[in-house]
Each structure stands twice: as C-alpha cells, then as structure tokens.
Amino acid sequence: MNKFLQIGAIAAIALSPAASWADEPENGTLSIVFENDLFYGTDRHYTNGVRGAWLSGPGGTPEWALSPARWFPLFPDGGTVRVEYALGQSMYSPSDIRLENPPASDRPYAGWLYGSVGLIAETGMRLDQLSLTLGVVGPASMAEQTQKFIHRNVGSPDPRGWDTQLQDEPGLILTYQRSWRSLVAEPIAGLSFDVTPHVGGAGGNVFTYANGGVMVRFGKELLLDYGPPGIQPSLPGAGFFVPSQGLGWYLFGGLDGRAVARNIFLDGNTFRDSRRVDKEPLIADLQFGAAITWGHTRLSYVHLLRTPEFKGQNKMDEYGGFSLSRRF
C-alpha cells in the first residue's frame, strides 16, 4: 500500500501547476482511476479495476455529439455539453484464489474489458451523464493475464482457478445518471459544504439496475465539483471539476442504493452455460474519502464498503481507489 501512496503523491506533484491557470482555455480533462481490494488486505470478489477517460472541453464537442444531446429529453436546456471517451478493465474472483476448482456457491472468476463514449451536460447546479459502453466478458478480457502479472509483482498468491471463469460474451451497457447540487452552504472562515443527490440507472446484458443516493462534501475552496470519478457500478462522480486558485481540499461521504435486475458477473453468461450464483436484488454502497485540488489537478482517495451481492456471502466487500484528474 505504501507503494501506491508514493505513486499517487509523485503523480500529484509532477502534474500540479505552480500557479493558477484560471484564465487559460479548457481543452479537456484526463482522468485515471485505480481501484483494488489489496488496500484493505483482501483479495476477493470485485478485486481490481482500472479506467482512463478523456473529457472534452466545452468548445471541443463534435457536432455528432451535440445533436443527440439536443434531442435527448432528459438533458437540460442550456447546459454545457461535453463528450467523454473511456477505456477500462475490471476483474472478479472467488474468496479463495488458491483453489483450482472453487466452490460452485462462490462468486465466479470473470473479467470485463470495455470502451465507452458518453455525453455530459452541466449547468452549474446539475450534471447529466449518458454513456454507451461496449466490451467483452470472458478470457478475451485478458483479466487472467492482468491479475497473474500483478500478483507476481506484489508477491500475492497465484490465482489458480481462471479455467472456471465466465465464457466470452460481448457486453453492452447504456447508463444515465443525474446529479444536482441541491444545497450549497455559504463559506464560513473559508470552509463550506454541499449536498448532491443523484438518481439513474443502467440497462444491458452486463448490468441492469436502478440507483439513487446522495453525496456530502465539506472543505476549503469547495468549487463546482460533483465528486471524483469511479468505476461502474459506483456513485456517479465525474472527471469534470473547476480548478482552484491555490490549494483546495474536501472530505466527502456518499451512499448509493441499487435495485439490481442483471449482473452478468453473478448471473453468469446470457446464452451459454457458465458458473453463476444467486444474487441479492438490493445493494448499498457506502463511501468516504478525501480530495485535493491544486490548480488544474485533482487527486482523490476513496474507501468503499459494499453490502453482500450474492446469497451465501457472509461479509461486506471493501476496497480503496485512487483517482487523478488533470485539466488541460
């Protein structure tokens, strides 16, 4: 874990500006997210996720993206529209990765390699996000190779049961989320707080769910920001943020509840025989963390707790995640 903290600190220093660039035009924002349960000494279930994304500036949105944003009925009139491109990989494993043949009652091995294109519309008090994600579940996701490579380099046990993973299947997810800053307190001694509820949902053969929740932030230089980005499913943060004039920081906590109709990583392959477990239909995520903004750079860390996702899971899952966003 110390290595991860050192990497995050070095990256923040290297990418942070020496002075405010508030008057410069916004070309776009690059965000990188890394999530792993090794931060808390576990190695099971949702065990690793990485995602990189580029969010265009307000003047860099192509016409093919502006047209759908105009006719999409849930987007606000007059919002600033941006387009986001993302690539990512997630991996899942049973409780004991040392077994070549894990129990059928435990979560199956699975990987998810994907790309997505999304639109966001932001008004100053409200953020709407619409995204289409395409990818592949199964051996073609290369999750087995990724996990084995990581474990060799950090000295963790070799995962031996990947021969039992879900089969190759194309995946599609259409996701919509709305967040709005319903309460923004006036600063007192340079400190303030805001409250941002959200609602949304996803549909597809990978995830189908409806969700809702709230995030609370407290800190210094609490500028326009809807929370740091995460990896789906999660609270709907974003790469979008307004740079600070100097050093800013905030603490945040959030809750997200999901009613789940489909989760391929628990339900198994759609049209082929595979391992599967009986999922829990109602899931809750509790997260808390901290973010630092320095000029055009935002670095955050989040600790997330997730209620059991399938029958027979006797413990909550927890993992940590770093995100680094750099506005150019």
The two tokens of residue 189 are 């001694």
Are 102 and 161 in contact by the 8 Å Cβ rule? The answer is: yes
pTM given for the model: 0.90
Q: How many CB atoms are located within 10 Å of the residue 114 CB? A: 21
Are 195 and 188 in contact by the 8 Å Cβ rule? The answer is: no
The pLDDT value recorded for residue 24 is 63
Cis peptide before 233 (omega within 30 of 0): yes
CATH architecture of 2-327: Beta Barrel (2.40)
Residues in contact with 299: Cβ distance below 8 Å, sequence separation at least 6, in sequence order: 8, 11, 12, 291, 292, 322, 323, 324, 325
**What is the residue type of 213?**
G
Task: Return the domain boundaries, the chain.
Answer: 2-327
Are 231 and 51 in contact by the 8 Å Cβ rule? The answer is: yes
CA gap 144, 309 in Å, rounded:
22
CA gap 198, 136 in Å, rounded:
28
CA gap 1, 303 in Å, rounded:
13
The pLDDT value recorded for residue 21 is 41
Residues in contact with 216: Cβ distance below 8 Å, sequence separation at least 6, in sequence order: 193, 194, 195, 196, 252, 253, 254
- Along the 328 residues of the chain, how does pLDDT read in single tens digits? 444 444 444 444 434 443 344 456 789 999 999 999 988 989 999 999 999 999 999 888 888 888 888 889 999 988 999 999 999 999 999 999 999 999 999 999 999 999 999 999 999 999 999 999 999 999 999 999 999 999 999 888 999 999 999 999 999 999 999 999 999 999 999 899 999 999 999 999 999 999 999 999 999 978 899 999 999 999 999 999 999 888 999 999 999 999 999 999 999 999 999 999 999 999 999 999 999 999 999 999 999 999 999 999 999 999 999 999 999 9
Angle (CA) 294-37-32 rounded to 5° is 35
